[in-house]
Structures are given as structure tokens and as C-alpha cells.
Structure 1
Amino acid sequence: MDALNARDNPFATRRVERCLVFDPTLVGTRWSDLLERWDQLGRRACVVGPHGAGKSTFLDAFVDRLDVPVVRFFFNRDKRCLSDDDLHKMEDGRGRIWMADGDTHLGFSERRRFHRASREAAGFLSARHRTRGLPVLLRLKPDLALARVLLHRAHPEGAPSLEPLVVEAFRRRRGNLRHLWLDCYDHLAGRR
């Protein structure tokens, strides 16, 4: 097989983001059920799962189903403090829904400040690895069957030949779908 350039690679990040939008039916639920549960939880919850399980993808799709404007916050190992931009969004975000990706990376005092301020938001949804006191809206745990379905959605014509790679990468990457797609990209780019 000839190596593909980035423009033609079906596992290029932008292509994967476009074709692998979150589909609740693949994890045994529906959008209507998730929205109903969201309301039952007082619009304050978390989506939990391991690295690469689809938490951020879920947040991206959930935004489109909400009836109130959303303010997004992103934190990770390299961003463990509230920035000036975050503080500005916190101030202006009163009455909006706050979506935090990785807020558990914040240091203790910063996290406490952030969570206290979030009480004035119209809702709070956090993507994290553990609940840390918030009720769970959705728990994500990718399995090999899900990886195969997503492979066929991302690259239908090439899926049969990539299945062995996906099986091996799923095991090696411990279920991290994000890294699995990067392995598929590298394989088709001729890097493996």
C-alpha cells in the first residue's frame, strides 16, 4: 500500500473530528435521555472516563443540544492555573452553562475558586477521569467493539485491512481511542 499524504488520510485530525461525532446510541443511550438526566441532576454533573474515551467529543456534541449559551474551559497537565482569560470568562459567564474539560488538573485553591464561581452559572458539566463529588451524567469506557464500529465509520473502504492494527493498538493504547486513530494515521502515512 502506498503512503497517504495528510490531505488524503482518513485519520487526519479534522476528518476524524468531522466523521466521529459523539453518537449516544453507541454507548447505549439517547440524547433525549441524557438531556432528561441533565435536568434531573440540576444541570450540574460530570462525564467520566479514561484518557481518549470520548469525553471532549461528548462535550462538543452536547453543546449543540443545550438551550443556554455555553462557556468552555480547558485545563490539562500544562495548564493547572486559572488564566486571565479564564477569570474573564468566569465573570462574563454568569447565567451561562460552564463546560470544563479537565478541571481536576487545577490546583486545590484554584479548583475551589472555580467551583464556587460556577454556582452562579446556569449549569456545570465537567469532563474528568473521576467524579470528585459531582453526579455522573455519562460514564464512558471504550471497548474493542466500539473501536471497530468507529473504524468502519471513519474509513469504511479500508476498515477490513486495518482491523488487525486496531485490535493491537487498542490493547497497546489501553483503550485510548485518540491514540488509536493517531496510530491508524501513522500507518496509512507510511510511518509504521
Structure 2
Amino acid sequence: MNQALAHYARRRKNEMIATILIASAGASTSQATTLPFEYGAFRSVCTSVEIAADPQVEQGFARATINENVARAIQERLRVLGPTYPVVAGPACLRERATAPQQLGLLFYARVVSDPEHPRRLIVSLIMHSFYSDPKSPGPYHTDIPKAQHEFPTDVSFCSAEADPSRCLTDRVVGYFDATMLKIIELAQELLKGGRR
């Protein structure tokens, strides 16, 4: 009886979380509306993927592998644009390397729940915060743990029951980067090149 109640409670909780995630994605109004100079002036990148999930769901994710693969994919995309800057992976770089001059920090926060309609399918809600570390600039961004400079809109997607959770989440994070920050960096690089002429 207790197990049945616990299972029902978990299912109801996931249903509520899924509803909230999908509703918040449509209603999200927080986004980066400006194009700061630092998106073209950075010389290194720190990326970190944080995952929040129930223990049963969370065990399907290889966090270190996800962080490494995301950093590698972002580095490759930057190389295509021209910059060959180092991209450091994992949560430690936001703390330990936050004082690196001209470092762009990207924190991806993923909330993952089981789909109430298809329990083996996952609902992934993604949001990204960006930081810029420059010891010469005033404000909080040269501290060990910088405050969020920009928050991007929430994106909600699914990982099918057949997909490897780690691979799927990596693809979702990289796709989110492509749709948001990569376009901004590309535009900032073009503006910087135009200013040097």
C-alpha cells in the first residue's frame, strides 16, 4: 500500500512539474536583449551543465561526459567562426577560473522529468545564464562566483524512450547553444571585424 501511494505521489509530482515546465517555456520573458561587447571580446569559454532530476532519472546521466562533449562541440563551433579559444568544461571552471581575463562563462541548467503520458520519455527544460569575467571591468563579474549577466529564454524539448539520456541531453544543450549564444557571438565577431576596418 505504501509503495503504491509513493508511486502515485511521484507520478503526480512529475505531472505537475511537466505542466509547469511546458507552461513556463511559453511564458518566459527573460532574455538577452542587448549585445554586449564582451560576446566578441572574450578569449576563453567556461561551460557547465547542471542537471536537476529525480534520483531514478538522474542515474541515467553521465555528467562528466555531458560536460566534456558540450565543451568540445562549442569549441568546434567557435573554430568554424574563426576563434580558436580554449573551452573549459565542468562546474569548477565557473568558480576556480572566474578571474581569468576575458572569459565567457555559460551555465546551462537542465530540469529533467519523466513524461507523465509516456513514463520512459523525458521532458527536458533548459535555460542558460551567461557571465563575463574581466578583472579590469567594474561590477561583480571579476569575483570568484560572478552573478548572472544575462538569462536566456527557457526551452522545453523531449528525449525519446529509445534515446541514450546523456547523448540526448548533450544534443539538446548544444542545439540550445546554437539557437542562442552562437548567433550572438557570430554577430559580435562581425561587429568587431567591422570596427577594425
Does the pair score TM above 0.5? no
TM-score normalised by structure 2 residue count: 0.26
TM-score normalised by structure 1 residue count: 0.27
Which structure shows the bigger proportion of residues in strand conformation?
2
